[in-house]
Amino acid sequence: MIKKKVTLNFNNLKHKIKLFYIQTKKIIPLANPRGVKLLCELCGKTAYYQCLGCRITYYCSEKHQKIDYEGIHKKICSFLVPLKEVSEFLGSEDQRIKLQKEVRAKKLEIIHLATTEAKKNMFEENYELAIPAALQALRYSQDVYKKKSIESIPSYLLLGKATTGLKNFKQAEDYLLLAKYALFKSKKQDYKIRYQLHRNLGILYTFKKQYDEALFELSNDIYYSSLLHGPEHIYVSGGYFQLGNIFYYQKKYNNALSAYSHVINIWNSYFKKKNNEVFDEALQAEAQNMFTRILEIRKELLSESEKNIELAQVYMAFGQLHYMTKNYMEAKSNFEEALKRYQLEYNSSNINIIQIKSFLREIELNI
C-alpha cells in the first residue's frame, strides 16, 4: 500500500500563479498515458495546453485558457492541487473522514465563489466570462450533491441565461431543459427555482420568436412568483414585463401597454410603502432596463393627450429608484420631468405633485 502524507494547504500556490498564469505548456495529446484523454476545461475538446499554475487543468487553445482564467480559474487555481492530492490520499479511516469533510467545505466554497463570479459577470453583461464560472459551479455542485440534484439548477440557469445573452439559443435551451429535468427529478416544490426557470425559458422563447411557448412559460412564471411573493410584488414584475414584450412583438399594443402599466404600478406602490428592504444591484439594473424600455414604448405608442400622466408615472418610478440608491442628481432630473408633466394635468393639491415636491426638497438637503 502506498502511503502518502498530505497536509491541506490551499494558499501555498498563490505566489506561483501570478508568475505562471499566462504561461501554458503545449502538450502532445498522443504522448499521454494510454487511456488518458486530456480535455479542454471549457469545451471538452482535445486539449493541447496545460495550466502551469495547477498543472491539472487543460485547454484546447490559448483563447479558452484565457477566458477560463479571467472568468474563474484565477480564483480557484490554487485550490485545485490540494483537492486532487486528497483524492489520492490513503490513510487511516479517521484521517480520511476528517480530510473528506475539509474537502467538502472547500468544494462548497468553490461553488459559492464561482456562482458569485458568474453573477457578477452576468450583471455586467460579460456573458462569455460568466460561462467558465457557471460551469465550475455546476461541476462542483454535481460533485458535492447528486448529479441531477436541485442544487445544480442555479448553475444551469446561469448557463442558460449567459448562452441566451450570447444568442446561442440551442445551447441555452439544452441548459434550461436540463434544469427542468433536474427540478422534475428532485420532486421538490421550490417556487423560487421554478419561477426563475419559467422566466428564463420565456425569455429564450421570446428571442426565438416562439411566442406561444413563451407565453406559456411566462404565465407559469407569474403564477409561481405570485404564489411565493404575492401578485403585486416587485419580483413578479419581471414576468409581466416579459409578457408586455411579447404582446409588443405581436403588435397587440393595448395588451402590451396594460402589461407594462402593471409593472410601473407595482414599482410605484412598492416605493410608496417606503420599505427599507434592500435590493441587490441585479434587481436595480433590471428595474432600470424595464423603466427605460417602458418609457420608450409609451413615447412611441401613446397619443399626446395620454402622454403627460403616463410618462410622468415612469419618471416618478425612475426618480424613486435613483433616490433609493442615493443617486441624487439622476433622481432630481427625473422628478423634475415628472413634476413638469403632472403640473400640465393637475393642480398643486394633487398627491403626486405634493410627493414629488417633498422628494425634491429632501434631495436639496442631500446634494
Any contact of residue 51 with Zn ion (CB under 5 A)?
Answer: yes
Q: How far is the CB of 202 from Zn ion (least distance, A)?
A: 31
**C-alpha distances out from residue 215 to 170, 195, 290, Å:** 19, 13, 18
- Among the listed residues 38, 48, 54, 263, the single contact to Zn ion using CB under 5 A: 54
Residues 5-24 that bind Zn ion (CB under 5 A): none
- Judged by CB under 5 A, the residue of 48, 49, 50, 57 near Zn ion is 57
Smallest gap, in angstroms, from Cβ of residue 19 to Zn ion? Answer: 12
| Site membership for Zn ion, residue 53 (CB under 5 A) | yes
Cβ(15)–Cβ(28) below 8 Å: no
State which of residues 38, 60, 134, 287 lies at the interface with Zn ion (CB under 5 A).
Answer: 60
Could you say whether residue 197 binds Zn ion (CB under 5 A)? no
DSSP-derived letter for residue 46 is B
- C-alpha dihedral sign at 161, 163, 168, 171: negative
Contact 317, 264 (CB under 8 A): yes
Residue 43 sits in the site that holds Zn ion (CB under 5 A): yes
Indicate which single residue of 48, 58, 64, 215 sits in contact with Zn ion (rule: CB under 5 A): 64
Residues 282-301: x where in contact with Zn ion by CB under 5 A, - otherwise, as a string: --------------------
Closest separation between CB of residue 118 and Zn ion, Å?
Answer: 18
Report the alpha-carbon distance of residue 352 to residue 48 in Å, rounded.
65
Give me the phi and psi of 307, to 5 degrees please. Answer: -60, -45
Comparing CA positions, the residue from 277, 278, 275, 270 lying closest to residue 236 is 270
Q: Name the one range near Zn ion by CB under 5 A: 39-47, 129-137, 316-324, 336-344.
A: 39-47
Question: Quick one: 27 or 43, whose CB is closer to Zn ion?
Answer: 43
Phi-psi region of 8 (alpha: psi -120 to 50; beta: other; left: phi over 0): beta
Q: How far is the CB of 51 from Zn ion (least distance, A)?
A: 3
Round to whole Å and give the CA distance between 135 and 51: 17
Which secondary structure element, helix H or strand E, spans residue 204, and what is its range?
helix 191-207
Cβ nearer to Zn ion, comparing 54 with 331: 54
How many residues lie near Zn ion (CB under 5 A)? 10
Residue 42 found at the interface with Zn ion (CB under 5 A): yes
**Which grid coordinates belong to 156?**
444551469
- DSSP state at residue 30: G
Q: Is 110 in the site for Zn ion (CB under 5 A)?
A: no
51/257 with CB nearer Zn ion = 51
Q: Per rule CB under 5 A, is residue 163 in the interface with Zn ion?
A: no
Which window, 72-80, 120-128, 234-242, 299-307, contacts Zn ion (CB under 5 A)?
A: 72-80
CB of 117 to Zn ion, least distance (A): 15
81 binds Zn ion (CB under 5 A): no
Residues in the chain: 367
Contact by Cβ (8 Å): 322, 289: no
Q: Which is nearer to Zn ion, 103 or 297 (CB)?
A: 103
Residue 226 CA to residue 206 CA, distance in Å, equals 21
User: By CB under 5 A, is residue 40 in contact with Zn ion?
Assistant: yes
Work out how close the CB of 297 gets to Zn ion at its nearest, in angstroms, rounded to a whole number.
41
**What cell numbers appear for 73 in the block?**
480559474
Burial class (CB in 10 A: 0-12, 13-18, 19+), 364: exposed
Binding site for Zn ion (CB under 5 A): 40, 42-43, 51, 53-54, 57, 60, 64, 77
